[in-house]
Chain A
């Protein structure tokens, strides 16, 4: 199955709170899991990415948690700010190296209220 399921569809968080977005997959051939951030009128931009041999990766206020056995990964945004308000997409890439095509989740619209 080449699907990535993402939840929730939308999320409202107060400034300073923690935003959590979850993704799940079935295909064990995925070897790279990036998160993209998209602002209105712009294209998606890579935020942070992880490989399945690592359980957690942190970059500033953004952390990916990866559970290989459960085939789930999540994005945590600590100390959420109004500037973080955007649509977030998780994605996955199939191992092999012959292509870099990404399978995207359906997106989460995050609104951080001041």
Chain B
């Protein structure tokens, strides 16, 4: 079945970077893009960015632009999200989700989520 498996929880200090992985299985990786969404404790969903299946195109939200890098490895069917210069308000559960080739479509399925805690 189609599945996205994310890496484990992380604890980082302010100013550090975090890299979260998202390994896809059960479908042709190069036919779909991957989007990243985060959810701060007790808050709603916030879109962060998207990468095209062949790494040729990517978008990120204005809020994290300049600090976010999204990449994908078509050899291992794995997408990555790296967030730099972490702040306390980056503490959240980070989700990856499969989406269309333009990033404008629905998200299905979602990974299980990765908790990133930023604390000194």
The reply to whether chain A is a binding partner of chain B is no
Q: Which B residues form the contact surface with A (CB < 8 A)? A: none
Q: Which A residues form the contact surface with B (CB < 8 A)? A: none
